[in-house]
Amino acid sequence: MPYFEVNDLCYRYEEHWILQDVSFTAKKGEFIAIVGPSGCGKTTILKTIVGILSPQKGSITINSYDITNEPIETRNIGYVPQNQGLFPHLSVFENIAFGLRAQKWKKNEIGKHIRDLAEISELESVLDRKPHEISGGQQQRVALLRAIAPFPKLLLLDEPLSNIDTQLREHLAVYIRKLQEESQITTLFVTHDLDEAKMLADKLVVLNQGKVLQTGTPVEVNFKPASIEVATTLGLKNLYKTSSTVKNAEKHSIQLKSEIGNIEVFDEDLFDSTKEIRGIYINPTMITISREPFSGKNSYIGKIVAVIPDTMLLQVTLLVSITLEIEKLSKNNFKILRVQLSSSECNYQISEIVHLKIHQDGIKFYE
């Protein structure tokens, strides 16, 4: 049985449904990232869980206890909003102690607990300062400590790194995960930054227009998006529209006419389906690149237009495929195919002509 559960959650503002039958679960100590574009309902989910908003339908349970209609003060949920919500007139110490005093901790217990937290968070030297007297990164750590200090049943983080300088973001992201793992607090983390989500989360909840499109590990969601909507929401590259399909009864294959030429797919379920194929996603790790030609289907010739060393990605403009001739294309119709290589393979140069082979297992199609 899951530790935390959201079931068929619906929230309406005036006549607009912000959340529509949202459901997902979390294990004890699990780190869940809710991802999706701005305005898709991510923050609204957190506000209904913490009790700021009341859903019109659905339920929220923690450890099998229904908190849907519980007052905010009895839910024991740590919440860090986008603006951190620190009290400007209180010191760092007093900010962190705020929830502890509400729980009627003894003064000596509060002092020891906060000093222990400050030590692991490198905030010992700023406990007497006000929030405006410390850096943005330190403010974020104070907000996190204030949220976890009372040992909440659940921790909610709303875009905690959105206002942090780029050079501090990765450091703070690692800090958040370390703190969460040590405390074993089940955590929901809202972000529109997919790299952050993939780096931190045990599981992703992909949200768009108030609906959950897919849940799964970062690897599952990234490499096997459940629909073209998920792939689009994730901003995945190598996503192409298809305009027609031709079935080959002898080979039990499907020929998909796509934006990058004809792609042949061998799939029994797809062959038997009568539904329209709307698009394909090509996994960038499932493409072989060479200076020598490939034979057979799904082979292409391309020209390298960019090399991205940090991630070992090549961006290739397709020049010719076995079914698509260059003279039939205008300049603006060239499509980019992203190829991911290991560092030992990444020895190609910009403007170099290369040959590519797309592997069957790397082709995902969408009805």
pLDDT, tens only, 244-260: 666 766 666 777 777 77
Give the CATH number of domain 4-232: 3.40.50.300
Percent of the chain with pLDDT over 90: 27
- Percent helix, percent strand, percent coil in the chain, to nearest 5: 30, 35, 35
pLDDT digits (tens, 9 = 90+) for 223-247: 788 888 888 888 888 888 887 666 7
Where does CATH 2.40.50.140 sit in the chain? Answer: 239-366
Q: pTM for this structure?
A: 0.77
Residue 125 burial (10 A CB sphere; 0-12, 13-18, 19+): exposed
Joined together, the tokens standing for residue 103 give 């729980």
Give all strands of the β-sheet with 187-191 in edge-to-edge order: 77-80, 154-158, 187-191, 31-35, 203-208, 211-216
Query: Which residues, other chains included, contact 193 with Cβ-Cβ below 8 Å and sequence gap of 6+?
Result: 161
The listed CATH number (3.30.497.10, 3.40.50.720, 2.40.50.140, 3.40.50.12280) that belongs to domain 239-366: 2.40.50.140
User: What span, in angstroms and rounded, lies between the C-alpha atoms of 202 and 2?
Assistant: 14
**Delimiting residues of CATH 3.40.50.300 domain(s) in the chain:** 4-232
DSSP letter string, 17-52: EEEEEEEEEE-TT-EEEEE--TTSSHHHHHHHHHTS
pLDDT at residue number 322: 34
Nearest to 366 by CA among 276, 287, 286, 266: 276
pLDDT digits (tens, 9 = 90+) for 29-71: 999 999 998 889 999 999 999 999 999 999 999 999 999 999 9
